């Protein structure tokens, strides 16, 4: 998801949109198009207006017309536009006879929707920010090109590897709606988890806890030193899932998260969900949550945590940039995958939630679709990825691109956490597929109430299952399923 101008630097991939949509859920609609299922082809038309294909060569695997104009519209947000401008220069160097028309705007929808309707869209769009066009509608109306040719093309750095083989876990799947084709290429990459000060943990003579008994012991140590174990964005308690969802996956397996995403009956009543809810509730019952947390917003909770009032906070990798002004220089910011219950967990310690943001699309009626895809192929090179990471302190979808960069502590820790996770990266889709269910009902109505002590875990599970059942039966909501 995009950021707006008020987001400095590399404000996160998901958080900005969560807050914005919770404040005004009408801002970005939940897809309700019943025809989304019929999205097997990319549509098109007006082929006579399209740029003729160029010559396919080893250097030009997508057969880009070397003289055709390529138009690229970027969302002008927290990541800035320099990284994209740098990638455009490479395109221009590779195709010296081609003119690239590059622009950046915050008003994606009002600027580009009319052009989609007229059949004259740009060739590549960063569809992000508060004015993001509804992806479900674009897919449903067959207005996006299938990016499979890009994914199957040789990667920019190594012709022996396809582009898809150079991407981080979950990126390809995130761009799909109900299985194949891939309509969206998410370019940025966020690590979600439990964030903490390594210095504070060291001062307690403790290591990051791998089991829940160890977690409670660390929190008790912190409490004796006048420090809370946890805080979180009490006003936006859908931050809790950033560590709670991957914990559920760790304890019960990926299939539990898939069942929750699929709105399957009784998915929330799985023993792993009950166990993890009870574990979090124990933090509240034992007094390990910072007093007053239910009344704090994301900035207030992050500030209290940065000031050493609490040891752990569930968050995304944007927290490093967002809290830069309040995190002390010697804080030694770190992130870890969630603490599990014990050795009986289905997945190993290190299992983490990480996923993509900044959605790039190529319109079906683009005049130069292959040029748009080639620009993305360039951006998914090691050099372009490294340039993005160095400039905006965020990882990209390219699985690498950090060599030779002095990484900030949080980014360094995020890379280490991904290395530790290996294939054990989970990507719950509830927040993408069912905005209101995730934010208002599960977050505020369920988890928020439980962590404030107003619901028991059993009551929270029952209430949340009721919300999920209602969403499953609501014919006005487009339903998605893991394939």
Residues 129 and 32 in one domain: yes
Average pLDDT value for residue range 35-47:
37
Tell me the pTM: 0.77
Confidence band of 135 (pLDDT split at 50, 70, 90)? confident
- 133, 213: one domain: no
**9 inside domain:** no
What is the Cα 183 distance to its own chain's centre?
16
Kindly state whether residues 135 and 242 are assigned to the same domain: no
pLDDT tens digits, one per residue of 168-212: 988 998 998 877 899 999 999 989 999 999 999 999 999 999 999
Which tokens in the block code for residue 283?
């933090």
The contacts of residue 166 (CB under 8 Å, 6+ apart) are 155, 157, 158, 380, 398, 399, 400
Q: Is 106 helix (H, G, I), strand (E, B) or coil?
A: coil
Domain assignment present for residue 483? The answer is no
Q: How many residues does the chain have?
A: 483
Look up residue 274 and give its two tokens: 């009950």
Query: What pLDDT score does 29 carry?
Result: 34
Task: Check residues 246 and 169 and name the one with the higher pLDDT.
Answer: 246
Q: Which of the 8 DSSP states describes residue 398?
A: B
259 and 379 in a single domain? The answer is no
**424 within some domain:** no
User: Quick one: 326 and 390 in the same domain?
Assistant: no
Please tell me the predicted confidence (pLDDT) of residue 306.
98
Look at residues 365, 387, 413 and tell me which one is the last residue of a structural domain: 413
In a domain, 419, yes or no: no
As a whole number, the mean pLDDT across the chain is 88
Q: Considering the domain boundaries, does residue 110 fall inside one?
A: yes
Q: Which of 215, 285, 207 is nearest to 243 (CA)?
A: 215
pLDDT band for position 480 (50/70/90)? Answer: confident
Same domain as 99, residue 219: no
**pLDDT tier, 452 (very low <50, low <70, confident <90, very high otherwise):** very high
DSSP assignments along 172-234, one per residue: HHHTBSSSS-B--EEEEEEEEEEEEEHHHHHHTT----SSHHHHHHHHHHHHHTT-EEE---T
Residue 286 CB contacts under 8 Å (≥ 6 apart), including other chains: 216, 219, 220
Average pLDDT over residues 1-25: 40
Residues 266 and 401 in one domain: no
The rounded distance, in Å, linking the Cα atoms of 395 and 354 is 11
**Between 130 and 312, the higher pLDDT residue:** 312
| Res 51 pLDDT > 90 | no
* CATH number of the domain to which 441 belongs: 3.40.190.10
Residue 80: pLDDT over 50 = yes
Element (H, E) at 393: none
> Residues 414-441: pLDDT tens digits?
999 999 999 999 999 888 788 788 888 9
Taking only the tens place, the pLDDT of each residue in 266-312 is 999 999 999 999 999 999 999 999 999 999 999 999 999 999 999 99
Within this chain, do residues 297 and 285 fall inside the same structural domain, yes or no?
yes
Asked whether residue 444 is domain-assigned, the answer is yes
Q: Which residues pair with 104 in a beta bridge?
A: 74
Q: Is the pLDDT of residue 478 over 70?
A: yes
Q: Residue 328 falls within a domain, yes or no? A: yes
Question: 250: which 2 tokens?
Answer: 């760790």
pLDDT at 139: 84
Total count of domains within the chain: 2
Question: Which two structure tokens, joined as six digits, stand for 101?
Answer: 């028309």
The upper half-sphere exposure of residue 170, i.e. CA atoms within 13 Å in the direction of its Cβ, equals 21
What is the spatial distance between Cα 272 and Cα 248, in angstroms, rounded to a whole number? 6
321 and 455 co-located in one domain: yes
pLDDT in the model for residue 482? 84
Q: Report yes or no on 63 lying in a domain.
A: yes
Q: Are residues 319 and 439 in the same domain?
A: yes
* Average of per-residue pLDDT across 445-457: 97
DSSP assignment of 110-178, as one string?
HHHHHHHHHT---SEEE--STT---HHHHHHTT-B---HHHHHSBPSS-TTSBGGGGBPTTHHHHTBSS
The Cα 186–Cα 170 span in angstroms is: 10
What is the reported pLDDT for 34?
32
Q: Between residues 358 and 305, which one has the greater pLDDT? A: 305
438 and 330 in a common domain: yes
Q: 317: which 2 tokens?
A: 């990798």
What is the model's pLDDT at position 13? Answer: 42
pLDDT at 49: 60
307 and 255, same structural domain?
yes
Contacts of 460 (CB under 8 A, 6+ apart): 277, 446, 447, 449, 450
Q: Look up the domain containing 334 and give its range.
A: 193-353+430-473
């Amino acid at each position: 998801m995009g950021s707006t101008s008020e987001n400095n630097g590399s404000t996160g991939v998901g958080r900005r949109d969560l807050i914005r949509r919770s404040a005004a859920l009408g801002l970005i609609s939940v897809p309700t198009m019943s025809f989304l299922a019929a999205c097997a082809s990319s549509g098109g038309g007006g082929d006579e207006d399209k740029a003729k294909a160029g010559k396919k060569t080893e250097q030009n695997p997508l057969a880009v017309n070397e003289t055709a104009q390529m138009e690229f519209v970027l969302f002008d947000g927290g990541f800035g536009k320099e990284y994209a401008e740098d990638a455009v220069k490479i395109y221009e160097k590779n195709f010296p006879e081609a003119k690239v028309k590059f622009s950046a705007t915050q008003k994606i929808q009002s600027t580009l929707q009319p052009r989609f309707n007229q059949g004259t869209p740009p060739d590549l769009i960063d569809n992000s920010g508060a004015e993001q066009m509804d992806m479900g509608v674009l897919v449903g109306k067959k207005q996006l090109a299938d990016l499979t040719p890009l994914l199957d093309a040789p990667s920019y750095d190594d012709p022996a590897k396809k582009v898809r083989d150079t991407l981080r876990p979950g990126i390809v799947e995130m761009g799909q709606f109900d299985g194949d084709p891939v309509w969206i290429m998410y370019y940025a990459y966020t690590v979600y988890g439990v964030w903490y000060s390594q210095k504070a943990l060291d001062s307690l003579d403790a290591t990051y806890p791998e089991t829940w008994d160890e977690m409670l012991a660390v929190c008790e140590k912190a409490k004796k030193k006048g420090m809370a174990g946890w805080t979180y964005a009490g006003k936006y308690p859908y931050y809790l899932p950033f560590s709670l969802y991957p914990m559920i996956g760790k304890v019960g397996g990926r299939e539990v998260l898939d069942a929750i995403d699929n709105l399957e009956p009784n998915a929330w009543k799985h023993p792993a969900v009950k166990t993890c809810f009870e574990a979090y509730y124990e933090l509240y019952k034992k007094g390990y949550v910072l007093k007053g947390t239910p009344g704090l917003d994301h900035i207030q909770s992050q500030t209290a945590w940065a000031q050493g009032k609490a040891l752990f906070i569930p968050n995304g990798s944007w927290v490093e940039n967002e809290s830069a002004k309040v995190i002390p220089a010697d804080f030694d910011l770190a992130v870890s995958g969630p603490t599990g219950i014990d050795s009986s967990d289905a997945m190993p310690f290190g299992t983490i939630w990480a996923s993509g943001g900044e959605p790039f699309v190529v319109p079906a009626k683009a005049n130069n679709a292959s040029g748009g895809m080639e620009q993305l192929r360039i951006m998914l090179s090691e050099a372009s990825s490294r340039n993005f990471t160095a400039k905006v302190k965020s990882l990209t979808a390219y699985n690498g691109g950090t060599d030779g960069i002095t990484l900030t502590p949080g980014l360094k820790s995020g890379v280490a956490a991904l290395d530790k996770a290996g294939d054990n990266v989970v990507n719950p889709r509830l927040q993408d597929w069912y905005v209101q269910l995730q934010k208002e009902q599960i977050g505020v109505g369920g988890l928020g109430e439980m962590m404030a002590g107003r619901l028991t875990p059993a009551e929270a599970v029952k209430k949340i299952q009721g919300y999920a059942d209602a969403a499953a039966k609501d014919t006005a909501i487009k339903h998605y399923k893991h394939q």
